Amino acid sequence: MQDIATTPTPGNYCSKDAVFSFFTGAGFLDLGFEKSGFEIAFANELNAEFVQGYRHSRAKMGLPLPRYGIACDSIDDHLKPEAAAALKKQIAETRKSGQTVGFIGGPPCPDFSVGGKNRGHKGDNGRLSRSYIDLILAQKPDWFVFENVKGLWRTKQHREFFDQLVADLAAAGYQTKSKLLNSIAFGAPQDRDRIILFGARTSFMKKHKVSLENFDWNFAVKHPERSAFDFEWPTTSKFGASPKPTSAPIELTIQYWFTKNDAESHPNAAHCFTPRAALPRFQTISEGDDSKKCFKRLHRHRYSPTACYGNNEVHLHPYEARRISVAEALAIQSLPKEFELPSTMSLSAMFKTIGNGVPYLMSKGIADSIKSFLH
């Protein structure tokens, strides 16, 4: 179902680069690109509650809806003749205006995740990575971004699938570069590894006299490679104690982000799961003990483990006997203070879309690298 944008607010049409976004979620990746100077021309997301969050957050931040609207349907629908023709027309119009056309997307990753069902490209979610690449091959954007979990590289079966995707792109005239990046390298308070595949058409690069050899993954990186983990980080402290900070950068700690985003007064501060039966257990887990899959207690003076809410993974507040709130989860994803989700969304949908999203600072860092490469 196509949700056409009719807002009179003008988009960033003066941008040299337009983005067509897929698997958009609540728009974390889109926001990073937009703040880097790209125009979000089109968005696609199957989950209606995520679309609701996307629309709400953009309204609250004073951002326009995509020029060609939000398609609340499956990416597979855009491989069908009618929708494919409409998308091709939109891309042609965008190019005619003088903009480059890029696709960005992070297909659902549970089938490649270490903690998932490991069905790979044969799973209901895993096959969507193939669909996304097929859409790129069919629509031929000038450049694209593909984001996924590191599990796609870890096993032989998954790596063979990834390598086949890259080979298909090469056969269609795309040159690619891929790298395993961690969100903490960009200044987000979170240990989150993600594979990023960037590609551009050879004909496009020749026309614009750019070379993929000059693409710099570290253009916007603050802590190259894994250097952020070399700081002296605290381990665990008894729950209820007052641990002292170490010499590690304060801007990489969750307490810094809770304060920066005023999480206690944020519109999503009250959105939190409160299972009373678990209260005694909440009081026995040490601050910073994230060794188990379930009931990981964060440390106020440390970064967070990967924000992954669901499948029994629960993150506890560092010094309060409760689970973290939606506002605190948004802060861990390094989103601006002004970003909020609507109260009409279910709690499950809120935490799911947050856990699925690319941390904002990581998104913007990747977008900055691409912007530098393109111009």
Q: What are the residue numbers of the active site? A: 109
Show the tokens assigned to 199. Answer: 């590609």
CA dist 372 and 375 (Å) reads 5
Alpha helices (runs of H) in the chain, residue ranges in sequence order: 28-35, 48-60, 81-96, 127-139, 151-154, 156-171, 202-208, 254-260, 279-282, 326-332, 347-356, 360-374
Show the tokens assigned to 111. Answer: 């089938």
Buried b (16+ CB within 10 A) or exposed e, 225-241: eeebeeeebbebbebee
CA dist 128 and 104 (Å) reads 14
* Closest C-alpha to 14, from 98, 75, 91, 88: 98
Distance, C-alpha 148 to centroid of its chain: 9
